[in-house]
Amino acid sequence: MGIDRSPRTVIAAVERQDVLLGLEEINRESVPPRQRSRKFCLAHEGRHYPPKLAISFASAFRYANEPEMHEGLDPADFAGGPQSNKALHDLGFKIEACDCGGIRKASRGKGNKRGDGPRLARVVVDGRAGMTLKRALKCLDDVFRAMRKAEDHADIVVTPGGFIVVDLKPSPQILGWDTPPSALLKLTRELEPYLKPFVADLEKLQPLASYITLGIDCALPDDEHQDANAQLVATVKLPQ
């Protein structure tokens, strides 16, 4: 009677160390487009992996000395979802609902070697910032297109200070270091009608980020202060 090498038996035999070795191999080889996950990811040390691919690689290490199994299970031969997720969860791995495909990588910034903080993407403008809302939207569209092409994802996209300039109608303002909080609150309310349509269009760009910060300079010219402005930052939560 032959040895049972059904997917259920093989998956049950996989151990945690096999999975860790499999994740290291995925790090070296990357995730093939056809093997990306759709609804869930294995989250480990700040990086995401497709659960089925992790099982496949792990089984290759578990049966490395058996000629018929040294390549591991073919992901097409076993089910994803509960079957893979439960096996990995039982081995102590974290499974998250996620649509990144298992390709989100940890941030490599200083002080974040293990990817345990947010992944930041900074927008650098070649030339002068100070864009109109229309031009800023076009710029961000280019940014998100580049991120999709690179299969990259960020938790937060950061734009430069003064990324957008909005000319507000002149109104009495108390300017300078002694500007009271009430004046800033009034200013943000005046700015909202300009930003709402912009944010609505921004959300349609399929951004690969959870949040974006917008550096906004509000021009506030009056008879006494022709170059007066207020420098603000807006944080926008993007749809997932």
Closest CA to 165 of 226, 232, 237: 232
Average of per-residue pLDDT values in the chain: 81
Domain range summary for the chain, segments of one domain joined by +: 7-97, 120-237
pLDDT band, residue 228 (cuts 50/70/90): low
Which DSSP state fits 104?
-
pTM flag (> 0.75)? no
Which class for 120: exposed (0-12), middle (13-18), buried (19 or more C-beta within 10 A)?
middle
Q: pLDDT tens across 121-160, in order?
A: 889 887 777 899 999 999 999 999 888 877 777 889 999 9
What are 38-97's pLDDT values in tens digits? 889 999 988 899 999 999 999 888 888 776 776 778 888 887 788 889 999 999 999 998
Q: Which residues contact 217 (CB under 8 A, 6 or more apart)?
A: 130, 161, 162, 164, 165, 166, 229, 230, 231, 232
Residue 116 pLDDT > 60: no
Asked if residue 53 lies in contact with residue 104, where contact means CB atoms within 8 angstroms, the answer is: no
